Amino acid sequence: MQRAVEHRGIPTVSISVALDVTEHAKPPRAVFVPFMMGHHFGTPFHVELQRRVITEALTHLVEADQSGEVRALPFTWAQARREGKAIEEAIRRMT
């Protein structure tokens, strides 16, 4: 589907949590986040991290040098989860 959209002249970028699948599928552009399946943008309520993932993906959309380039993002699931739990706890304390 991504290639069909690109064929129409609209650039695309995938956000992936499965590097092996992404490398096999060879999308035009992709960013890889080492998060758990289904958590492409990190944890719930972690707006800052979610914004960073989107910003990194859009930056890659503009800066990718060649088709098929996959950029690994500098995040870890452990850190995202720790920060996410702290945010959830802060929200609970406010309610």
pLDDT tens sequence across 29-60? 999 999 999 999 999 999 999 999 999 999 99
Helical segments of 1-95, H only: 2-7, 19-25, 47-63, 77-94
Calculate the CA 8 to chain-centre distance. Answer: 24
Cβ(49)–Cβ(42) below 8 Å: yes
Indicate the average pLDDT of the chain.
Answer: 95
- What is the pTM assigned to this prediction? 0.89
Predicted local distance difference test score (pLDDT) of residue 65 = 86
Q: Picking from 8-17, 28-37, 61-70, which range would have the lowest pLDDT averaged per residue?
A: 61-70
Phi and psi at residue 69, to the nearest 5°: -70, 130
For residue 31, the cross-strand partners are 15, 71
